[in-house]
């Protein structure tokens, strides 16, 4: 919200300086965003008169001027060398004495000599003052200009422009009068009285109202003014509009813009001769196109409130008028509209169509419902004063809404809620200065009638009267509204005393140690994301839905997960796993020449039996590797295998704190994996933490991926929270470990996991690790037999192992494996 200092003083009787006013605005919560004081930057420039102008003896294009710049200011007779072609005797000009900074040229004037002639200043053009465009000569002032005046004061440029930030609840502060009222209540002067005179109508308006959309417009007024002479508005009005960033258009339009800022009351004028028919109708839009005043074309739908004549829509109600019926300099008869529009509907319509206007900004924050009649009279009076003509009777549709509200304040709440001791008399006086009227008062508190312009303090009287009726649900709403209204009153009292006077009170900490910012689920997802990225995979973000045929490759497609209104025909099913969207992405990249790739996504999977979660939704970290590894000298590029993705899975689970010794791998991966080259990572017999393997060739071909591919799905919801352990220095053994290899011959049905588990449990206090490093079948082993070679790491703790101790430990390993699997040591 912008306004000038002189405009503010039209409503505020004060002797406060600009600095005191801006300080007060900040103190009462109307934050000052900037002050443009053109007078300060132009304070050194003076009005002057050229007494004589002679040709420069040493330059054809220069003149030596004798200038009267005001004897009282010490520049009564100054010699200035000037190159302007219009410099002549008797001309009133703008003079810059030595030491003046010239904003348009970015220089500072100094006294000196030009071609041998002394020059004690500069005669300026408006461009050099930063006020106009390029010109061939110096600025020419009126002949009767008195030398020695401040040019900023002479030109009316010493009127600072103040810009403040407005919060969404303070629609009343979008009016200069509303700002003046706040400053007066804060003790910075007195609010000047304002009362619009009544203009008697001398004929019946030829245009009337038909309100078919009272939900959007409860009340609308209007009147016709005929015989107007439209043209440019007076200089004072144009200057005020320019100062707040508006372009003057013509007197009729400028009057409506003036009252939008002066009273916060948007108005609109229709060229009455261009209105088709004798009625303006407020109704819903019906698909018509409106060419608005901003030159844009907008299609009105059924949720928009429009003003239409017999030819169709002529205005978006409360937002912007139409170009066809707009007032021009040829307008001789005008119809002035003044209405109350529903704030929510105005906001939604403006947002849908992307229209921003001063009217919308005010309507969506709430307009003073008691102001329309007075505002229409004031606007009529100004139009008659500036444009002449005669006014009709006022025509009206609807009635003013019941805006009367009350709010109660308990005086002790100023201390308990606001933290400030305020005397009851001071609190009541502050609210009265803001326009609140005391209805009842005692030692404990007071009840006030809320003024019409404070829409943000809402406690409807009908709710207050029914608050004691226990048979009606209104008491609950009334109680909530009463508490909110009381808080608003506390805020009003405190801000008028100064928000900087409210003591800063820190919130009580919930615990001495700050609580974690992320939930365990969020932390797991973030850690998995970082680890997969560190392993060379690129993160993708896909839709949570795909085609039904695509989803069927990865699981069932129940109707409960079918979209009734998909954004596209091929995105009609919630995906069972992020692989359903990762695999087509890999195929598209491979088709464009990517020979090897690695993608991952962390997102939801829906409805698959292996993705348990809330409502059948689970958080899944899916990774996909495809193609071949990098080619290096001496070694061919190898295709990706299940071992690559198994390493990804185990690395993530280890980082998430899952104990590796508690994991087992089973060969029951779902059908979209290769049946002999896949597995499922479990913790215990039931908890599935991950599944991995090479993708089934049929699945890869179905999406057009013609190269090896392997994937892993980690179910982050199933990962248990790590057990809390005492933090301390890790135990690092000082002795070297001893490694022994064992090759066991077992049946084909025996899994490597069974052998590893048996070996690991043979001597837990001594064995630090067990790993499989070779699998051999065929040869002399015979049919149905295989050799599993494992490495066992013995880690002594207190002393080195003797040969006998090492032999005993090895025997325990062989015995444990033989007992668990029937294995024999390979010879």
Annotated binding site for Mg(2+): 456, 488, 491-492
Q: Copy the structure tokens of residue 450.
A: 């809320």
* CA distances (Å), origin 611, targets 256, 330, 550, 575: 63, 73, 18, 11
SS3 helix, strand, coil % of the chain, rounded to 5?
30, 25, 45
* CA distances (Å), origin 810, targets 160, 759, 762: 94, 10, 9
Contact 264, 366 (CB under 8 A): no
Q: For the beta carbon of residue 206, count every other beta carbon within 10 angstroms.
A: 14
Q: Which position has the token pair 């969207």?
A: 581
CA-nearest of 789, 786, 747 to 771 is 789
- Residue ranges for the known binding site are 456, 488, 491-492
Length of the chain: 827
Query: CA-to-CA distance for 50 and 95, rounded, in angstroms?
Result: 10
C-alpha 819: how far from chain center: 67
Residues forming beta bridges with residue 196, ordered by sequence position: none
- Which residues have a Cβ under 8 Å from the Cβ of 595 and sit 6 or more positions away? 627, 628, 707
Query: CA-to-CA distance for 147 and 564, rounded, in angstroms?
Result: 81
Q: Copy the structure tokens of residue 33.
A: 């965003």
Q: In this structure, is the dihedral angle defined by the CA atoms of residues 243, 244, 248 and 252, taken in order, positive or negative?
A: negative
Residues forming beta bridges with residue 297, ordered by sequence position: 291
Contact 708, 626 (CB under 8 A): yes
By three-state DSSP, how is residue 578 classified?
A: coil
Q: Within the chain, what is the greatest distance between any pair of CA atoms?
A: 125
Phi-psi region of 443 (alpha: psi -120 to 50; beta: other; left: phi over 0): alpha
Contact 407, 485 (CB under 8 A): yes
Query: CA-to-CA distance for 95 and 204, rounded, in angstroms?
Result: 57
Query: CA-to-CA distance for 435 and 451, rounded, in angstroms?
Result: 6
Query: CA-to-CA distance for 232 and 236, rounded, in angstroms?
Result: 11
C-alpha 653: how far from chain center: 38
Query: CA-to-CA distance for 451 and 177, rounded, in angstroms?
Result: 14
Residues forming beta bridges with residue 219, ordered by sequence position: 340, 398
Q: What DSSP string describes 479-532?
A: HHHHHHHHHHHHHHHHHHH-GGGSPP-PPPPSSSSPPPSS-HHHHHHHHHHHHH
The beta-strand segments (E) located in 354-482 are 390-391, 395-398, 405-410, 437-441, 445-450
Query: CA-to-CA distance for 650 and 634, rounded, in angstroms?
Result: 30
Query: CA-to-CA distance for 423 and 415, rounded, in angstroms?
Result: 10
Report the C-alpha dihedral over residues 580, 582, 584, 587, rounded to 10 degrees: -140
């Amino acid at each position: 919200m912008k306004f000038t200092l002189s405009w503010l003083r039209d409503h505020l009787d004060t002797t406060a300086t600009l600095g005191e006013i801006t300080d007060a605005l900040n103190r009462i919560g109307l934050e000052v965003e900037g002050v443009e004081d053109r007078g300060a930057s132009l304070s050194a420039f003076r009005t002057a008169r050229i007494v004589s102008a002679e040709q420069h003896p040493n330059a054809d294009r220069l003149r030596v001027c004798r200038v009267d710049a005001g004897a009282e200011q010490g520049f009564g007779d100054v010699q200035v060398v000037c190159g302007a072609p219009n410099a002549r005797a008797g001309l009133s000009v703008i003079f810059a004495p030595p030491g003046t900074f010239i904003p348009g040229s970015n220089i500072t004037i100094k006294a000196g000599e030009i071609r041998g002639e002394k020059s004690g200043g500069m005669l300026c053009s408006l461009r050099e003052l930063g006020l106009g465009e390029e010109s061939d000569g110096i600025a020419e002032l009126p002949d009767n200009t008195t030398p020695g005046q401040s040019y900023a004061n002479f030109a009316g440029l010493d009127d600072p422009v103040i810009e403040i930030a407005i919060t969404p609840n303070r629609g009343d502060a979008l009016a200069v009068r509303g700002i003046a009222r706040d400053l007066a209540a804060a003790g910075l002067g007195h609010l000047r009285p304002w009362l619009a005179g009544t203009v008697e109508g001398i004929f019946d308006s030829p245009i009337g109202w038909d309100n078919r959309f009272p939900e959007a417009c409860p009340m609308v007024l209007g009147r016709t003014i005929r015989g107007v002479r439209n043209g440019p508005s007076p200089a004072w009005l144009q200057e005020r509009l320019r100062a707040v960033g508006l372009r003057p258009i013509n007197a009729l339009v400028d009057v409506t813009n003036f009252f939008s800022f002066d009273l916060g009351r948007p108005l609109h004028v229709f060229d009455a001769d261009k209105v088709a028919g004798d009625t303006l109708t407020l109704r819903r839009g019906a698909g018509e196109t409106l060419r608005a005043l901003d030159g844009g074309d907008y299609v009105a739908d059924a949720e928009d409130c429009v003003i239409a004549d017999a030819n169709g829509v002529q205005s978006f109600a409360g937002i912007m008028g139409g170009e066809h019926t707009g007032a021009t300099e040829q307008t001789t008869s005008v119809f002035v509209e003044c209405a109350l529009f529903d704030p929510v509907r105005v906001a939604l319509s403006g947002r849908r169509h992307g229209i921003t206007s001063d009217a919308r900004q005010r309507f969506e924050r709430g307009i003073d419902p008691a102001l329309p009649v007075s505002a229409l009279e004031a606007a009529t009076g100004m139009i008659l004063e500036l444009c002449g003509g005669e006014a009709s009777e006022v025509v009206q549709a609807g009635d003013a809404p019941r805006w009367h509200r009350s709010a109660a304040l308990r005086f002790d709440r100023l201390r308990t809620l606001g933290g400030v001791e305020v005397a009851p008399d001071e609190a009541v006086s502050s609210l009265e200065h803001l326009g609140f009227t005391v209805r009842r008062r005692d030692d404990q508190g007071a009840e006030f009638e809320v003024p019409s312009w404070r829409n943000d303090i809402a406690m409807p009287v009908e709710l207050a009267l029914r608050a004691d009726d226990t048979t009606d649900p209104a008491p609950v709403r009334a109680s909530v509204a009463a508490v909110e209204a009381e808080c608003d009153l506390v805020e009003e009292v405190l801000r008028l005393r100064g928000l900087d006077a409210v003591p800063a009170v820190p919130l009580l900490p919930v615990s001495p140690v700050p609580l974690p910012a992320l939930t365990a689920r969020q932390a797991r997802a973030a850690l998995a994301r970082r680890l997969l990225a560190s392993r060379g995979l690129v993160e993708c973000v896909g839709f949570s839905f795909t085609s039904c045929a695509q989803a069927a490759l990865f699981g069932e497609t129940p109707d409960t997960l079918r979209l009734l209104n998909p954004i596209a025909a091929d995105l009609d099913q919630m995906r069972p796993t992020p692989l359903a969207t990762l695999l087509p992405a890999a195929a598209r990249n491979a088709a464009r020449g990517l020979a090897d790739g690695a993608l991952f996504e962390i997102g939801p999977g829906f409805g698959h039996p292996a993705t348990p979660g809330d409502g059948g939704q689970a958080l899944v970290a899916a990774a996909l590797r495809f193609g071949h590894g990098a080619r290096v000298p001496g070694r061919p590029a190898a295709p990706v295998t299940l071992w690559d993705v198994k390493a990804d899975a185990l690395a993530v689970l280890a980082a998430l704190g899952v104990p590796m010794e508690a994991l087992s791998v089973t060969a029951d991966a779902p059908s979209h994996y290769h049946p002999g080259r896949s597995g499922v990572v479990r913790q215990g017999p039931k908890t599935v933490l991950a599944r991995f393997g090479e993708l089934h060739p049929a699945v890869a071909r179905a999406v057009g991926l013609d190269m090896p591919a392997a994937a892993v799905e980690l179910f982050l919801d199933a990962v248990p929270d790590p057990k809390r352990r005492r933090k301390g220095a890790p135990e690092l053994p000082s002795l070297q470990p001893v490694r022994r290899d064992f090759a066991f011959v077992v049946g084909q049905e025996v899994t490597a996991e069974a052998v590893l588990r048996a070996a690991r449990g043979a001597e837990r206090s001594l064995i630090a690790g067990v790993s499989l490093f070779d699998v051999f079948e065929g040869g002399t082993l015979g049919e149905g037999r295989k050799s599993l070679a494992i490495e066992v790491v013995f880690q002594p703790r207190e002393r080195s192992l003797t040969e006998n101790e090492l032999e005993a430990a090895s025997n325990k390993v062989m015995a444990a494996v033989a007992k668990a699997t029937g294995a024999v040591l390979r010879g």
